[in-house]
Structure 1
Amino acid sequence: MKSAYLYFENGLFLEAKSFGADGCCVGEVVFNTSMSGYQEIISDPSYAGQFITFSMPEIGIVGCNPQDMESRGVFAKGVLVSHYSDHFSNFRAQESLSSFLKHFNVMGICRLPIRDIVKMIRLEGAMMMVASTEISDVGELKKILHSSLRIEEINYAQDVSTKESYTHKQGVFSFECMGYPTLHTRKKIVAIDFGIKRNILNNLVESGFEVEVQPHSFRADTLIQRFKKGELHAVFLSNGPGDPKFLKSEIAEIKILVESDIPIFAICLGHQLLAIAHGYPTYKLKFGHHGGNHPVKNLCNQAVEITAQNHIYSVPENITEIADITHQNLFDGTIEGLLYHRRKIYSIQHHPESSPGPKEANSIFGEFARMIE
């Protein structure tokens, strides 16, 4: 393994080993608490522009395979791990994590004091960092870091979004196995791709929707005309990377949608964009929610759902002036779900499709289908 050199925004300098792509990258460093599913996490477009610090000490032992991809590629800057195993043992695996990262030109760095890095992020917050297999001089790394754009200054949605519209037809499994009847709404939903995950699309299909995916540069007027003609019945706003307030043109189009009668369903970044479009700006959390063990209380039925999360921005509390809170994070009390007043607009902050084990949060897709039925 080559040596790798890391310089953090707070002045911390570390030397480690590289098992991914060579080069020099700048990004925001966050940590993820999930114990499994590293390929799904790495291929989530919401991590564009970020280094993912895995708190799980052993990474790489199940390898990688094409079926577990959540998008067409990998948009994260890199992964930071404690111990990397190049020997994988899984009947589904087709390549090592090292080979996988090199294929997508993504850095992989191991032999790091992960516990200390996670503690640092918890205390000081998510921060920018630079990693290099080519430059070891601290002064040079510091210069590169401070001359680079910050993650909140880059529109990563335009990089991860599809360039052309397409139809998604693949489902997941029948909701009947979870006690929910499979819905055959025969309704068409247009999913706006800000960095959408494939399993979200699978769940929309499973709920009975005909799903058409459009780029982030969609035109609201066109969708409204199609809605009036009965050619579509709802719009879905997807998850995605970066600071939602930076997506000004996308927010302008969402405002037009909100003023129409189109039912809207949104997850993660889409949830945040909806709040901004209503005039309620988001704020950045200290280190965000990234992991598969976050308890969320469903205020509609008082049930506690264990959820997967991947976000660092949250909607403000005063949004209750125009919406009812349907879900709340039990770690810090932040808003996880909203049902807007006088409109068929429903949004969720967490990822109901990213099963952390329990699958109760998946019912959200069926609930929206029933809402527009």
Structure 2
Amino acid sequence: MKALIALEDGRIFEGRSFTGHGEVYGEMVFNTSMTGYQEILTDPSYKGQIVTMTYPLIGNYGTNNRDIESCDIHAEALVVREYEEAYSNWRADMSLRRYLMVHNKLGIEQVDTRALTRHIRLKGAMKAAISTKDLDPGSLTAKARSSPGLVGRDLVKEVTCRTPYIWKDDKITTLNAHTLQNICKTKSRDLRVVVLDCGLKYNQLRLLEKRGCECVVFPCTASKDELLSVEPDGVFLSNGPGDPAALCGIVETVKGIIGRRPIFGICLGHQILGLAVGGRTFKLKFGHRGANQPVKDLETGKIEITSQNHGFSVDDKSLPPEIEITHINLNDHTVEGMRHKKFPMFSVQYHPENAPGPHDAEYLFDRFTEMMRQCQRERT
């Protein structure tokens, strides 16, 4: 059925829905990955955004119940050039169309995604509306303009877990007040990591567990005392959606942890750390989203090809002297990594958990676990 895409600047794109009727709003962004659409859709960082895939053929390997990064689809809608219903993959459980419909999400095809992507690159990411119901360009454009957008929005509270839990072997065990009190008496792994869930991806937990870490996950509303009450060896700050400048409460919590435990932050976690040490963040013109972003390690000179998904960045000029920039993006020279010169703390803007994307930066999880073990040795 016919669908209309209206951007807030009045640009209109036509397509057809392959998932039924609907009307949604969000910030229109594009992702340059050739594969990994299921991981992208289930990445909580896409909350409030409509994702356009630049690769023209999407859906040809279907979906399954293993390649997920959260328990839901968080992108508001998916826009593609051509949807392929006849999927072929021995691991597949259902088609992409069926997967989107199960989660009540719009899928739009037969859109000129090259023109749409070029428009965003020139004009910047902008608010958009998609509808199969309202096909009046003027009306739909007005709806796009009146939608909330991302700037100033705290979307983390919409994607965080509601209660603490332990992650083990891809399974979640919810913790209540009693089990939280007793958790310090037993440790199932060499290291215990407290994970602040700002919209985390499951593969971050998988890679930490693979390295001997017991992962205790807390919602974003947890206080400093709650996070430290389980006697962690380190604190992990996850990725997540929305504007980091709107997360004043989380920033204050992280301020109270700096220097008390080793900290590793990814994406939004990196931005939160930047704000916690006194820096500022700003919105990028169209963001970095894809599995082919070149990042330079300033210490080694090595170039990493990285997976990224963010629309905000830490302002390097706002960071205090005790913070050292460790990585930069080679496309626009924005900050991609930093560390504290005194305390055991570092972060990266990109996604080393490679889901989807290259494995170049997975070593950062080794760096974090070694940092925690070093601090363990110093305490004893």
Q: TM-score scaled to structure 2, two decimals?
A: 0.90
Q: Secondary structure at the match of 1:203?
A: helix
Using the TM superposition, give the Cα deviation of residue 62 of structure 1 relative to its aligned residue in structure 2, in angstroms: 0.5
Q: Residues 254 and 120 from structure 1, CA distance in 2 versus in 1: closer, same or farther, beyond 3 angstroms?
A: same
For 1:223-262, list aligned pairs within 5 A.
Answer: 223-226=227-230, 231-258=231-258, 260-262=259-261
The yes-or-no answer on 1:137 pairing with 2:141 is no
Using the TM superposition, give the Cα deviation of residue 193 of structure 1 relative to its aligned residue in structure 2, in angstroms: 0.6
Counterpart for residue 189 of structure 1? 193
For 1:11-26, list aligned pairs within 5 A.
Answer: 11-26=10-25
Using the TM superposition, give the Cα deviation of residue 300 of structure 1 relative to its aligned residue in structure 2, in angstroms: 2.7
Cα distance in 2, alignment partners of residues 94 and 110 from structure 1: 22
For 1:1-373, list aligned pairs within 5 A.
Answer: 2-170=1-169, 186-226=190-230, 231-258=231-258, 260-318=259-317, 319=319, 321-354=321-354, 358-373=358-373
CA contact (8 A) 2:127 2:147 kept: no
Moved >3 Å (runs of 4+): 355-358
CA contact (8 A) 2:298 2:328 kept: yes
Q: Secondary structure at the match of 1:154?
A: coil
CA contact (8 A) 1:21 1:105 kept: no
Using the TM superposition, give the Cα deviation of residue 12 of structure 1 relative to its aligned residue in structure 2, in angstroms: 0.7
* One-letter identity of the residue aligned with 2:214: E
Using the TM superposition, give the Cα deviation of residue 225 of structure 1 relative to its aligned residue in structure 2, in angstroms: 4.5
Cα distance in 1, alignment partners of residues 266 and 357 from structure 2: 19
Q: Secondary structure at the match of 1:89?
A: coil
Counterpart for residue 178 of structure 1? none
Unaligned stretches of 5+ in structure 1? 172-183
Q: TM-score scaled to structure 1, two decimals?
A: 0.92
Q: Secondary structure at the match of 1:336?
A: strand
The percent of aligned pairs where both chains have the same amino acid is: 41
Cα distance in 2, alignment partners of residues 209 and 282 from structure 1: 31
Counterpart for residue 175 of structure 1? none
CA contact (8 A) 1:325 1:335 kept: yes
Give CA-to-partner distance per residue, 1:133-178, whole Å, 9 cap, x none. 111112321332233222224322111111111111237xxxxxxx
* One-letter identity of the residue aligned with 1:314: S
Aligned residue pair count: 355
Q: Residues 29 and 223 from structure 1, CA distance in 2 versus in 1: closer, same or farther, beyond 3 angstroms?
A: same
* One-letter identity of the residue aligned with 1:107: L
Cα distance in 2, alignment partners of residues 47 and 312 from structure 1: 10
Unaligned stretches of 5+ in structure 2? 171-187, 374-380
Cα distance in 1, alignment partners of residues 9 and 146 from structure 2: 15
Using the TM superposition, give the Cα deviation of residue 337 of structure 1 relative to its aligned residue in structure 2, in angstroms: 0.9
Q: Secondary structure at the match of 1:40?
A: helix
Cα distance in 1, alignment partners of residues 358 and 48 from structure 2: 29
CA contact (8 A) 2:218 2:227 kept: no
Q: Secondary structure at the match of 1:200?
A: helix
The root-mean-square deviation of aligned C-alpha atoms, in Å, is: 1.6
Cα distance in 1, alignment partners of residues 140 and 307 from structure 2: 34
Using the TM superposition, give the Cα deviation of residue 20 of structure 1 relative to its aligned residue in structure 2, in angstroms: 2.5
Cα distance in 2, alignment partners of residues 212 and 191 from structure 1: 6
* One-letter identity of the residue aligned with 2:247: L
Give CA-to-partner distance per residue, 1:245-293, whole Å, 9 cap, x none. 11121112112222x5121110000000111111111011111100001
Q: Which moved more, 1:337-346 or 1:19-28?
A: 19-28
CA contact (8 A) 1:164 1:215 kept: yes
Cα distance in 2, alignment partners of residues 118 and 138 from structure 1: 20
